Structure 1
Amino acid sequence: MTRLRKPLLAIALSVMLLAGLSAPTFGDEKDDVKREQRENKKKLDAARDEVQESTKAARDAKAALDRAESRLADAQTKLGRTRGRLAVAQAEDARLRAALQRAEAELAAAEAKLEKAERELKSSRGAVESFAVESVMAGDTGLKAFGDLLRGADPAQFSEQMSVSTSIGDAQIAVMQELAASEVMLEIERDKVEDLRDEVAAQKQKAEAIVVQMQALTAQAEQQAASVAQLVTARTGAKRTADKALAEDQRLLAQWEAERVALENQMAEIVRKELEAARKKRKKKGGGGGGGGGGTTGDSGGALSWPVNGPITSPYGMRRHPITGVYKLHDGTDFGVGCGTPIRAAAGGTIVSQYYNGAYGNRVILNNGVKRGVSVITTYNHLSRYAVSTGARVKRGQVIGYVGSTGYSTGCHLHFMVLANGRTTQPMNWL
């Protein structure tokens, strides 16, 4: 038998068991259930294991997908931040390179200007030095002209010589002033060149630091991009696995829904018989009404006892299923207790059936008879194992099974249900 057919067998056999409940009399119903379960126990156990494996695979695949998606989102966020920082660093690098080029151009121009000024200064100094030598060698021009005049030279020649001497003196003074000014400007140019050299050095240092930062950010971005690629691959694989498991579980869920309808029909038949038996009992005793007494299979208490002592982790009502993600009625009350915790009958009654269901896992259906004028049936789900046999009569508080996490379950807990006249109702109204 293929793995695909085994879950179908579990559902089919469960429906067969339920079909046995519609026998002509209630006693015959119990006998049919016992006989069917004895004949098919081995097959049910095998089918239960297969469905459990499928459910676990779905949970594991979903968890793997959730982890991959979380890590992928985080890695993509980090990669985005790194790429943003890298873009800023690249823009800063371009700006610094342009600034460095401008500074280097200004430095080159300043150095050329300084070199020209130094040549001009050297030339001016040479002219001044030559004038000084010539002046020493020639003596005082004015005294020489005056001597020539005393020796009988033409007075006009004396005036001309004095005028030339004055012009030369004025020219030399001008050269000397220009030399002094050139020396001042040369110092200014030298300071400017030094400042520009310092600026170029600083710009180079900044540019080198940005290059190092860009190299580090590039390596980081490449590493993160590789990590993202790996996570995308992992996410894709996890999604394929999850989709496959989810499709299988949704198929099983649809079959379970069909089984649930069949179960409700069978429960309705039990309810009809229970209420009819209670009516006949009251009529036989001469009573005409009342509704708080017991029925044909239960005890006389009008309320139910807590099946386990533990906190309520999920109440009765609409919710999103933690595994399938479907928004639907949570048809019972979940008690958060550890696996292996004894489960006690909420009231006396008869074990109608106990079998494995793809959604509820190992479950016990206990007919508690008529209470408050309605037929009450309690079910105990996700059990790890049973404590009594099908058809057994149990007392209120008697251990009927043990808490587990079978079926569609995310952890150890008891899913406790109350059916009033065959319909699910708020269990806390009965406890």
Structure 2
Amino acid sequence: MRRPSRTTAGSAAAPVAGSSPGTAGSSAVRRRRSRLLAAVAALGLAAVVAVPHVLPAVADDLDDRRAAAEARARAAAGAKEEAEAALEGLEGDLAAAAAALVAVQNQVPAAQQRLTDAQVALDTAQREQTAIAGRLADAEAQETSLGATIAEGDARVTELRAAIGELARQAYRTGTTSSSLDVVLGAESVEDFAQRYGLASTALRTQSQVLEQLSTAQAAARSSQARLVAVRERITELKADADAKVVEADRARAEAQEAKEALDALLAEQQARAAALEVQKGDLERQLQALDAQRASLEQELSAIIAEQRARDTTVRVPSGRVSGAVFGNPTSIDPIYVTSEYGMRLHPTLGYVRLHAGIDLRTYCGTPIYAGREGTVLWARLRSGFGNQVMVDHGYVDGNSLMTSYNHMTRFVVAGGQHVDRGQLLGYSGNTGTSAACHLHFEVYVNGATVNPRPLLGL
């Protein structure tokens, strides 16, 4: 049979998580749990991506912060899938209590990051505030120094002006203001000429020196005044910056305090919910025992089927004990295949129990097609307790090994027991039946009646 074309998941579809079988609950309980988990996941994701950020001035820093935010968003999505996987197998009030604890745990890293960001912002504002205060003190000291320099310069200019006035008056009294011709013609003797000329030269040198000093003093005064104007403008700017930093530091201090209080509240809530869940561990143990009993029953049933087949078919080779290679095609409509929870022993993050996750969880969305991974015969298509709607397909023998697959938690199936199916043939549609926290495909592979890791057999 030709397989319908597959669609790639859109960004608007909700992500999914892992599964493991458990006892069947009523449909009302499952619907209530699904709504609760959806709300819990939304709250946890919002707490991570809603952390406020101050836009930096440098483009590279902005890119770094955006990349960090996107990384946190991806981590939040992954945490959501892991949380949903961890809740597989739980029913009723126990699932709700565990979901609430997981929701709080998922919010703690975001709250811690928000507190760290707020503390960094506060430290930065305080450092900048201290630096501005230092620059302001330096500028004010320069203003004082320049004021004193200008006062000294003014006094020096006044002194030089007085000296020039006195020189003028003295020259008038002694007649040293006469021209060089007057000095020559007025001399009565060579000695008188020498004396007169010496006095005139000295007076002129003195006047020139005083005038040069006055010019220098006036230039220095103008330079100091210009510097004083610039320093006063800088002081005005620094005071405005200092006032702004005070406001910024106060805001950062308030945000840091708010973030700390929010984190403390989350940690307190986490402790309270963990303590409440501890009380319900007896119910948890009973549920896990029921899940283990279901899996043991399934494996016994498969072993009986395999034994009957081997007894009937005397040409079957001696089993090699393992199957290798990419023997299965993609059973989902998501291309490439996306694994949300791996095969193997899994530690429950809130309850501390370690159990085997006997398949891998593949991302699908509610109501999307599920396909046969390989040609075979449908053993059954029925509701099977914690597995939900399950289709079991027998693929015959590979290297003498019995090979079977199961497709679990389906919303409905379109095949029936005894029906032959081709690789890629539609089996049914993804769902959230059984002990499942979200729509996905829990895919299991059985070699000689025991589960193995499906990943390498899917070519992953």
Shorter-chain TM-score range:
0.5 to 0.7
Residue 419 of structure 2: which of 395, 398, 402 is its match? 395
DSSP-derived class of the 2:316 partner: coil
CA gap of 1:127–1:269, structure 2 versus 1, over 3 A, is same
How far residue 340 of structure 1 moved from its aligned partner, in angstroms, is: 0.8
- Give the paired residue count: 350
CA RMSD after TM alignment = 5.1
- Write out aligned runs for 1:175-194 (5 A): 177-194=205-222
Larger Rg: 1
Name 1:314's counterpart in structure 2: 339
Counterpart-to-counterpart distance in 2, 1:394 and 1:421:
20
Give the letter aligned to residue 240 of structure 2.
V
Name 2:452's counterpart in structure 1: 425
Name 1:62's counterpart in structure 2: 44
DSSP-derived class of the 1:348 partner: strand
Structure number with the bigger relative contact order (C-alpha 8 A, sep ≥ 6) is 2
**TM-score of the pair, normalised by structure 2:** 0.58
CA gap of 1:395–1:91, structure 2 versus 1, over 3 A, is farther
- Write out aligned runs for 1:274-423 (5 A): 274-279=305-310, 281-282=311-312, 288-290=314-316, 307-311=331-335, 312-314=337-339, 317=342, 324=349, 331-343=358-370, 347-351=377-381, 353-355=383-385, 357=386, 362-364=388-390, 366=392, 368=394, 371=397, 378-383=405-410, 385-387=411-413, 393=417, 395-397=419-421, 401-404=428-431, 412-423=439-450
Counterpart-to-counterpart distance in 1, 2:211 and 2:345:
90
CA gap of 1:420–1:307, structure 2 versus 1, over 3 A, is same
How far residue 254 of structure 1 moved from its aligned partner, in angstroms, is: 6.7
Give the letter aligned to residue 423 of structure 1.
A
| Structure 1: segments with no counterpart, 5+ residues | 1-12, 18-42, 147-162, 293-302
Counterpart-to-counterpart distance in 2, 1:353 and 1:235:
44
Give the letter aligned to residue 417 of structure 2.
R
DSSP-derived class of the 1:339 partner: coil
How far residue 86 of structure 1 moved from its aligned partner, in angstroms, is: 3.7
Counterpart-to-counterpart distance in 2, 1:329 and 1:104:
83
Give the letter aligned to residue 413 of structure 1.
H
Name 1:44's counterpart in structure 2: 26
How far residue 198 of structure 1 moved from its aligned partner, in angstroms, is: 1.3
Identical counterparts, % of pairs: 18
How far residue 429 of structure 1 moved from its aligned partner, in angstroms, is: 3.3
CA gap of 1:243–1:217, structure 2 versus 1, over 3 A, is same
Counterpart-to-counterpart distance in 1, 2:420 and 2:201:
131
Matched-pair contact (CA < 8 Å) for 2:342–2:357: yes
- Write out aligned runs for 1:7-406 (5 A): 14-15=22-23, 44-67=26-49, 68=51, 69=110, 74-132=117-175, 177-237=205-265, 257-279=288-310, 281-282=311-312, 288-290=314-316, 307-311=331-335, 312-314=337-339, 317=342, 324=349, 331-343=358-370, 347-351=377-381, 353-355=383-385, 357=386, 362-364=388-390, 366=392, 368=394, 371=397, 378-383=405-410, 385-387=411-413, 393=417, 395-397=419-421, 401-404=428-431
Counterpart-to-counterpart distance in 1, 2:201 and 2:396:
135
How far residue 104 of structure 1 moved from its aligned partner, in angstroms, is: 2.2
CA gap of 1:333–1:58, structure 2 versus 1, over 3 A, is same
Matched-pair contact (CA < 8 Å) for 1:337–1:403: yes
Q: Per-residue displacement from partner, 1:83-105 (whole Å, max 9, x unpaired)?
A: 44444433332332333332222
Matched-pair contact (CA < 8 Å) for 2:382–2:389: no
**TM-score of the pair, normalised by structure 1:** 0.61
